[in-house]
Amino acid sequence: MSECTHDCSSCGESCGSRNQPESLLEKPHEQSHIKKVIGISSGKGGVGKSMVTALLAVLAQRQGLKVGILDADITGPSIPRAFGLTEQATGSESGLFPVRTQTGIDVMSLNLLLENPSDPVVWRGPVITGAVKQFWTDVIWGDKDILFIDMPPGTGDVMLTVFQSIPVDAVVLVTTPQELVGMIVEKAIKMTGMMNIPTLGIVEALAKTYNIPYAARLPIDTKLSSGMDKGMIELFTGDWLDGLANAMIDLKPQQRV
């Protein structure tokens, strides 16, 4: 057997010294046991992404699942407002504890760590992505059937960090009817494909659908937006997302290395 030159391009698959691609996935907190991770994303802001995150979380919880929401929209967090959460998150030497909604959904958001929720978060990219990682590694999520990640708009640092650091099983994309928005969301679709993460479904507000397994349409309903604003989203009624929610719940987690 020849001496290893550490040039893996010249050795065979059976070589014991051959370097393997290093996984960038981070381990969750040792007290977190999460079965499935679903990302909610959009290439464009203001299309209802946080609303869809909240609605799908409520639907999953109503089916008896243990649900959490990781709010990765660090500079524009809105999940606490949707659920009427005003108390601050607490922690111990072991880690951070999420805040629980009235129906039992655990939430972690930067707004739950600020003294004043309206204070701006003026951070550079590396600090923001570091906070998102900590919401995965340092938060004690406990036992969760599904953890939803509400991502910021775009295909930048945070989305890349989530896809590389967290074992996301599938993504749901949110868009609206405008042709421009559809073009921008298509960028997000292509990005998930590049990261080998399936797009399970797309949610549109009364618009045509893409070639994605499951699609849903939300009506332009002032009751939904009012429920978000008043922190009463857990009381919503409507079957628009039932099919997508069931497909998401039935989804088998990916085998990620």
On the CB side of 143, CA atoms within 13 Å amount to: 2
Q: What is the pLDDT of residues 199-218, one digit of tens each?
A: 898 887 655 556 688 888 88
Task: Report yes or no on 105 lying in a domain.
Answer: yes
- Average pLDDT of the chain is 85
- Count other C-beta atoms under 10 Å from residue 124's C-beta: 8
Q: Which residues form the domain of 149? A: 24-250
CATH number at residue 219: 3.40.50.300
Domain count, the chain: 1
pLDDT over 70, % of the chain? 86
Beta-strand relationship, 96-97 and 90-91: antiparallel
Residue given tokens 């524009």 in the structure block? 76
| Position 5 in a domain | no
Is position 164 within any domain? yes
Cα 249 to the center of its chain, rounded Å: 15
In a domain, residue 4? The reply is no
Q: Is a pLDDT exceeding 60 seen at residue 257?
A: no
* Chain centre to alpha carbon of residue 157: 14
Please spell the DSSP secondary structure of 74-93, one letter per residue.
SSS--HHHHTT--SPPEE-S
Tell me how far apart the alpha carbons of residues 141 and 30 are, in angstroms, rounded to a whole number: 10
pLDDT at 17 over 50: no
Decide if 17 is inside a domain.
no
Q: What is the pTM of this model?
A: 0.84
For residue 208, is it within any domain?
yes
Residue 222: inside a domain:
yes
Q: Is residue 142 part of a domain?
A: yes
Least reliable range by pLDDT among 63-77, 202-216, 228-242: 202-216
